[in-house]
Every structure is written in C-alpha cells, then in structure tokens.
C-alpha cells in the first residue's frame, strides 16, 4: 500500500483528497499546517509527500528545503494554486520532484502519486 502524507490547509480539499486516496487503497496521513507536516514527515515513513506551498506556520517550500537538508529522499509533489513557470521552477529548486497546479484532475494527481511512489528522490544530501 502507498503511504501518502498530505499537507494542505484547505480542509474541504483535504477531506476530498483523503477520501480519494483511501478509495484508491492508499494510506493517507494529514496535516493542516507546515509545522505539523514537518513533524509527521520526520517521524514516519511515507512513499510520497503532497505539499501545498501556502501553508500556515511553515510554507511548503521551506518545509521541502528542510527535509532535503535533513537527507529525506521521499518524493515530494507540490499541489498548489501557484501555477506560473517561476513558481514551478522555485518548487523544483527547493527539492520538489513534481508540481501540479490547482485546479487539477483527480486522475492526474493519483497517477503522479503512483509514479512517484515507485522511486526515491534524486536529491542526495
């Protein structure tokens, strides 16, 4: 089973995504802010992390950078409303493996999670 950590401050979207992941036989965990998400990512093993960028307490870019500095190789997918090319490049530069702008198709999100769950990040710190 694919273990996914979803870090998203929009509770309605998070509920929908958690149900979708469970329906697809994934095992999701959830945090509504960056600090709680960082703690979960540091203390549990996940196959994929799905991060919003605009999070309270710690933004997704900072969270990603910190995990990479600590040697975390879990694939990270940014799921965010920030969809410009500059935003995407910043996400990749912070250590992200994939980037999906909102709004998105649920099938594409699931496909990207499954692809990422089959590999580790190329980041090596």
Q: Which two tokens stand for residue 90?
A: 């910043």
- What is the pLDDT at residue 118? 87
Interval 63-117: pLDDT, tens: 999 999 999 999 999 999 999 999 999 999 999 999 999 999 999 999 999 999 9
Structural domains of the chain ordered from first start? 3-117 (3.40.50.2300)
The overall average pLDDT reported for the chain is 93
Phi, psi dihedrals of residue 73, rounded to the nearest 5°: -110, 5
Q: Where are the alpha helices (DSSP H) in 24-59?
A: 34-43
Interval 44-64: pLDDT, tens: 999 999 999 999 999 999 999
Can you tell me the distance from the alpha carbon of 24 to that of 110, in angstroms, rounded to the nearest whole number?
8
The alpha carbon dihedral of 68, 70, 76, 82 has a sign of negative
Q: Is the pLDDT of residue 121 over 50?
A: no
- What is the pLDDT at residue 123? 40
Q: Is the pLDDT of residue 119 over 90?
A: no
The alpha carbon dihedral of 93, 59, 106, 23 has a sign of positive
Partner residues linked to 50 by β-bridges: 6, 77
Identify whether the C-beta of residue 44 lies closer than 8 Å to the C-beta of residue 29.
Answer: yes
Can you tell me the distance from the alpha carbon of 25 to that of 13, in angstroms, rounded to the nearest whole number?
19
């Amino acid at each position: 089973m694919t273990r996914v950590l979803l870090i998203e401050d929009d509770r309605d979207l998070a509920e929908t995504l958690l149900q979708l992941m469970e329906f697809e036989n994934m095992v999701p965990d959830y945090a509504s802010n960056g600090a709680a998400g960082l703690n979960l990512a540091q203390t549990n093993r996940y196959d994929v992390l799905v991060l919003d960028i605009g999070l309270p307490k710690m933004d997704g870019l900072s969270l990603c950078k910190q995990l990479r500095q600590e040697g975390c190789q879990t694939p990270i997918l940014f799921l965010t409303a920030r969809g410009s090319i500059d935003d995407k490049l910043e996400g990749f530069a912070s250590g992200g493996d994939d980037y999906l702008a909102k709004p998105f198709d649920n099938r594409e999100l699931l496909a990207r999670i499954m692809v990422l769950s089959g590999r580790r990040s190329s980041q090596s710190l």
